[in-house]
Structure 1
Amino acid sequence: MQPTVRDHALVDGLRAGQAAVEEGLLRATKSDVPFITEAARELTRTAGRRLRPLLVLLAARFGDPGAPGVVPAAVVVELTHLATHYHDDVRDEAAVRRDAPRPDADWDNDANWDNTVAVLTGDFLFARASHILADLGPRAVRIQAQAFRRQVTGQILETTGPREGHDPVEHHLDVLASRTGSLTAVSGRLGALASGADPSVADALARYGERLGVAGHLANEVATPTARRPTLPTLPALLLARAADPADRELYELLTGPAERAGQAEAVARLRAHPVLDLAREETARQADAARAALSALPDCPARDALESLCETVVAPTDTGRPRRSCG
């Protein structure tokens, strides 16, 4: 997922910034213990595009993009994102996630790749992120801590499910805002803070990032309606659950049941052709529109144009048949 950038100076600046971020990630994942270094870098190599560092770099364009804290801020948000991959994959007990090997799966036939190592590797990345973050000042630390609190809260809400009387769809959107949107929001806010941009710019970029993160995650759910995490339903499945048609509710039960349950493959095929996906796409578009609306408070410039193009890219359909990489 990359924005459309037509300004040559911005393209060059982003390329230089992204190269510096990659160097920073290599330094941050280095340890005196070779196994830790290799473990920490395994997911780094398979992480695909770096959306959150890109948001930091674009946010910094509303201040001084060459400020010394910009690249470290981008490294921090990516390390945090990678750390959550390790913890989430262990917690969700998924064999595959976003085309990358599960951290606690059989990695190079090494028996040490178990849940404990995966969790500790995530902790190592969190520790490295905190170390870098400390040099950015107490305000940056506070922003990151608030985002981490929201992420944990979102994980708890996702696990416990909606309270009695609360719409499961609204609950799901709240969970995504906390779990996924909070870190993309921090990316915009930290980029603005590190560059010395106006606080109002930082607020707008945080609102933008949160909605973009939710839209990206929903786009992934719509593109791959295969009940990859059966105990944690996706938006299309939840829309089925509140439908009046008993056949739709029966389809929901099949999709959210055990993966080996008879008839689930047929259920997935039924969902792929079901009109409920159009409703999920509409919600995805609404989230992307909300992200775009947040940019109206920003000055017109090439960086804003690039951010606006991401709102279109995030909801673009995919015909690959493979899971798209979401913002989560």
Structure 2
Amino acid sequence: MSPSASSSRIAGKLGLTDRIFAGTKARKLLSTVEAGLEEVDRTLARELRSADAIADAAGRYLYEAGGKRVRPMLALLTAQLGDGATEAVIQGATALEMTHLGSLYHDDVMDAADRRRGVPSAHAVWGNSVAILTGDLLFSRASVLMSRLGDDAIRLQADTFERLVLGQLHETVGPEEGADRVAFSLQVLSDKTGSLIAASAQAGAIFSGAPAEYEQPLITFGEKAGVAFQLMDDVIDLSDDPGETGKVPGTDLRAGVPTMPYLILDQRTDAGAIALRERIDAGVARIADGADPSILDDDIAALRDHDATEATRLLAEQWAAEAIAALAPLPDGPVREALTRFAQAVADRSS
């Protein structure tokens, strides 16, 4: 795969080429990041291969389906605050992307998602057990990669993986009676999505030898940008354009996963909001009992047009603004500008 091909997957979703890497200095930075992404892709392709036929096919399945490569891109970007795309940066970025890939196999099983990245989900092809074990295999290989980089890398991987698991656990169990469900969901997003994006931004600084005082701002930036990213994913999940999501509209809701537009709808007390929520709840229950998921088509469309979805978009913009504010301790220059534009692009995706 050429560097332009690997970067185009990001540009196509987030508009990085035109919106983030704008200007002469930023174009030079883009070229550097593209070269690093090409190296990450080569490393991923190599590390995902296995002598076992099933492990090889299943392990490479979602990688070969595409993806935005947001996490390695951030690591390569923040590495420019130090010595650039060192071998350690490439290894760390690869391990974190592999961790992300592993989480997708598990997420799709738990959410009963039929599609991922425009193709049938792994569990739809091989069954739940193979999909779960494939995710486990990717997690283990990511840990092996990190172990080559020393104790700090092992700790980063372990802490991030713990938060991923806790986020999924809390999402599965749900909030305690009387808890603020929006606040609870934001914490889940911080753990499930924000932690891995934060780790990627931090990894670029750690493994490139950047000044230690940059790490905490990058952690805060990554976590808040990650939450903004997931909030917009909740908006995009309702999109009626299959090319935008690679999934049918409302996949998460149909599987009983309460996304942020639904949670904000649940806070509304007007008759229309209450009626829509009740119809969605009834439809989810019927789907769980075996009904065709298409019974929710009209209600998914109604939620997409409801102001609860617009409120979710505004919440994403708020978290993106907080991410940008966290960058204040970083030096002025193309890296900080690109990170700022990244956060802006995350909250301004189409839906």
Tell me if both proteins adopt one fold, taking TM over 0.5 as the criterion.
yes
Q: Say which of 323, 334, 346 aligns to 1:302.
A: 334
Q: Alpha carbons of 1:62 and 1:96: their partners in 2 closer, same or farther (altered >3 Å)?
A: same
**1:222 and 2:255 equivalent?**
no
- Counterpart secondary structure, 2:124: coil
Number of aligned residues: 313
Cα RMSD, aligned residues only: 1.7
Is 1:254 equivalent to 2:286 in the alignment? Answer: no
**What do residues 156-215 of structure 1 show as CA deviations (whole Å, max 9, x unaligned)?**
111111112211111111110001111001001111100111222111111111111111
1:233 aligns to what?
258
| More helix by percentage | 2
The counterpart of 2:193, out of the listed 180, 189, 192, is 180
Q: How far is the alpha carbon of 1:117 from its aligned partner? A: 1.0
Are the counterparts in 2 of residues 240 and 252 from structure 1 also a CA contact under 8 Å? yes
Counterpart for residue 276 of structure 1: 308
Relative distance call for 1:195 and 1:2 in structure 2 (3 A) is: farther
The structural deviation recorded for 1:2 is 4.7
**Per-residue deviation, 1:269:** 2.2
* Other structure's SS at 1:136 match: coil
1:47 deviates by 3.2
Where structure 1 has 5 or more consecutive residues not aligned to the other structure, the ranges are 107-112, 320-328
Q: Judge conservation of contact 1:238–1:252 (CA < 8 Å) in 2.
A: no
Tell me which residue corresponds to 1:87: 106
Q: Does 1:160 align with 2:173?
A: yes
Which residue, out of 116, 121, 133, partners 1:120? 133
Using the size of structure 2 for normalisation, the TM-score is 0.85
C-alpha distance in 1, partners of 2:54/2:295? 43
- Structure 2: runs of 5+ lacking an equivalent: 1-13, 239-248
Deviation at residue 262 of structure 1 after TM alignment: 8.7
Take 1:66 and 1:49, find their aligned partners in 2: how far apart are those partners?
A: 19
Equivalences for residues 1-328 of structure 1 within 5 A: 1-3=14-16, 4-5=20-21, 6=23, 7=25, 8-106=27-125, 113-225=126-238, 226-230=249-253, 231-256=256-281, 257-258=284-285, 259=287, 260=292, 264-318=296-350
Query: Aligned partners of 2:197 and 2:325: how far apart in 1?
Result: 16
Q: Deviations over 1:129-177 (max 9, x none)?
A: 1111001111111111111111111111111111122111111111100
* Partners of 2:294 and 2:86 in 1: CA distance: 58
Q: Taking every aligned residue pair, what percent have the same amino acid on both sides?
A: 37
Q: TM-score, normalised by structure 1?
A: 0.91
Output the CA distance in 2 between the equivalents of 1:261 and 1:76: 36
Question: Is the CA contact (8 Å cut-off) linking 1:254 and 1:261 kept in structure 2?
Answer: no
| Equivalent residues of 2:99, 2:139 under 8 A apart | yes
